[in-house]
Amino acid sequence: MHLIHPDVSELSLFIGSYPRLAVITGAGLSAASGIPTYRDARGVWRHSEPIKHQQFVDEHHQRQRYWTRSMLGWPAVRDARPNPAHLALARLESKGNISLLITQNVDRLHQRAGSNRVIDLHGRLDQVRCLECQARFCRERFQQELMLANPQVGGPAMSPRPDGDAAVADTIAGETLVPSCRACGGTLIPDVVFFGGTVPAERVQACKDAVSRADALLVVGSSLQVYSGFRFCRLAAELGKPLAIINPGETRADKLASLKLRSECERLLPAVAG
């Protein structure tokens, strides 16, 4: 990890000049909590691309594959703890510097760190949802059902992946039994927006409203390769709002930024938040 000392003064000056921030966070923020990122410093996939929404909905074997991998990968997310960057953002919120925190992460670490004004843009991994009746259930309770139904799938994850995924042989997944919704017998899906899925319109509008009201936009730990987060950077630029980015690697919005800082966020943010 590294901390570029001029970055401390530059970020402090930015927050002092624009005291009410909308903040977007991405996978890089949770990396220090042990949750792997999807992309490297150049924005290139570290692993194979994750499952798409329509694949999960249409193909039973894809659901088997997803839940097998998730059965082994979920504990790493469940047991993760907020790192100093999460805690620093919570302190900045308590000081009145953050009007809304928009996270692309599904790990709920911001809430565990004490942040209250948070929108989980891509949903939350600690819940599952029925595609038919829309009932929601606790992911950990569903974990117990999965394990009870599939004693042949056990042991630690072979290779942790982002967002509770794990590397598991497809031959193992083909034997997995996936419990149905306890309320209606329907198909259960994690309560997250898969790649290829759509963020609910009211959620997007709430984020747009926050960016419009904020003095500036701050992005932390995201390459912004996914349009769902990048759109708010474009909105900030259209509204003439300053944009600051904290990310060691390249991002899709670097050309829009008035300030780009390459320090590791888990060291830079605590130095500024106090």
- Who contacts 29 (Cβ-Cβ below 8 Å, separation ≥6)? 83, 85, 86, 103, 105, 220, 221, 222, 265, 266
Q: Which stretch of DSSP H or E encloses residue 23?
A: strand 21-25
* Radius of gyration, alpha carbons of the chain: 19
Percentage of residues in the chain having pLDDT higher than 70? 90
In angstroms, the Cα distances linking 49 to 73, 161, 188 are 16, 11, 22
Question: Which pLDDT tens digit goes with each residue over 85-107?
Answer: 999 999 999 999 999 999 999 99
Strand order of the sheet with strand 216-220?
118-120, 98-103, 21-25, 216-220, 243-246, 259-261
CATH number at residue 32: 3.40.50.1220
Residue 209 tokens, joined: 């409203």
Q: Decide if 53 is catalytic.
A: no
Angle, helix 265-273 to helix 5-17, in steps of 10 degrees: 50
C-alpha–C-alpha distance, residues 144 and 139, integer Å:
9
Rounded to two decimals, the pTM is: 0.91
Tell me, what's the pLDDT at 195?
85
Question: Which pLDDT tens digit goes with each residue over 124-149?
Answer: 999 999 999 999 999 999 999 999 99
**Active site residue: 60, 61, 110, 122, which one?**
122
- Structural domains counted in the chain: 1
Question: Which pLDDT tens digit goes with each residue over 72-87?
Answer: 999 999 999 999 999 9
Question: Which pLDDT tens digit goes with each residue over 16-39?
Answer: 999 999 999 999 999 999 998 765
C-alpha–C-alpha distance, residues 7 and 259, integer Å:
10
pLDDT confidence tier of residue 172, bands split at 50, 70 and 90: confident
Q: How many CB atoms lie within 10 A of CB 87?
A: 21
Q: Are residues 106 and 125 in contact, defined by beta-carbon separation less than 8 angstroms?
A: yes
pLDDT confidence tier of residue 50, bands split at 50, 70 and 90: confident
Q: Which residues form the domain of 10?
A: 5-273
Tell me, what's the pLDDT at 218?
98
Tell me, what's the pLDDT at 3?
64
Question: Which pLDDT tens digit goes with each residue over 215-241?
Answer: 999 999 999 999 999 999 999 999 999
